[in-house]
Structure 1
Amino acid sequence: MRGKNENEEVSIVSLINLSDSREIVEVSWNLPFVKKDTSLWEIVQSFKVFQQKPQKPDFRPLLNEAEGLREGIALGWMVNYSNTVEKIYKLRYDDRDSMFSTNLELIPKFEQQGFDIVPLEKRLRGLLSTKATIAHLELQLKETRVLLKNETDEKARMEEDIREHAKRIDDHDKRIKELVKMLSKEKARK
């Protein structure tokens, strides 16, 4: 017994057999359409991302789309994947959070289409981890600077108190010496 997808793939093969012989036809188990615009496909497949790491997207879900839209949607997925890969590899840990969340939302959609998302997800998670670590360290640095300022201020207050106490001690010491001198003079008179 054949499933719905098997029948549709067979009908695609039949349509391909009836196609004009001048048309370049490429059929694959995961391409539910005929590549009619080969020049566009050549351009897209020449993108750096596909040269460095060839992809094997699964476009069978496009069987649910109108036949005339399938190739365009597939090309759109290829271009969007390439753009997303480039954006992710240009991201830095200090970029806006929204850039990370947008890309994290896209990854499962590419995965559903059969694109390899593991390196993208790994890079995003690594950057987010770095971002979180740096944010934590910056918070600790800020708190430590506040503590250092408080301690420095307290030290300055204590040093001022010590100077004041030392001055009072000196004043008392001078007063004691004056009193001892006066006492000695009084005793000497008697």
Structure 2
Amino acid sequence: MQPPIPRQSAHEHGIHRADNDARLSDELASVVTGARRRAVRDADRQIDTAHLLHSLLESDPQVRAVFGEGSQIARLLGYLVQRSIGYGLRWQNGVEDSGAVHVVTEIAGFSPLAAASMECACERAARHGGPARGVDLLAAIVVDSQARAVEVLRRAGIDPHAVLARIDGWTGEPRECPSQECVRGGEAAC
């Protein structure tokens, strides 16, 4: 059995930095807060990409629109709820990391992949001249095949590459990332 997550103040643990990041839209800061609550409630040691995806789907209508109406969202939320009640227990012992990611230490409380995805979302947003939005984070999450969120998407029968293509089609964003920080396993992350 895992020991409980040590109770530290947010300042000691450094986990509120992303919430106060001026590079994030108010909506995305709210998504991060929701993902943090979910991780604490689920007794996970870090916020991972599946927590972020779950919070994005609950909070962001533009992200839900990427998946369209109907059964895709229902199936996806079903897998995410299963994960929160036990589906993800096998993940609690490990850190979400593809091994190809530079560990981003500025965003404490996140798995390495989730931290890198947050940074890539901010870089993607900088190209369109605004704060990072939910679709920027979704685009950053879906490109790493080792991300827990990508595993959940695949189990729900959703192709992560098709999700990225839909986002890129809406925003006109290229798939290439301006920095090597976002490149994971040979794929552009943002």
Give the TM-score category using the shorter length: under 0.3
- Structure 1 or 2: larger helix share? 1
Query: Whose Rg is larger?
Result: 1
TM-score (norm 2): 0.25
TM-score (norm 1): 0.25
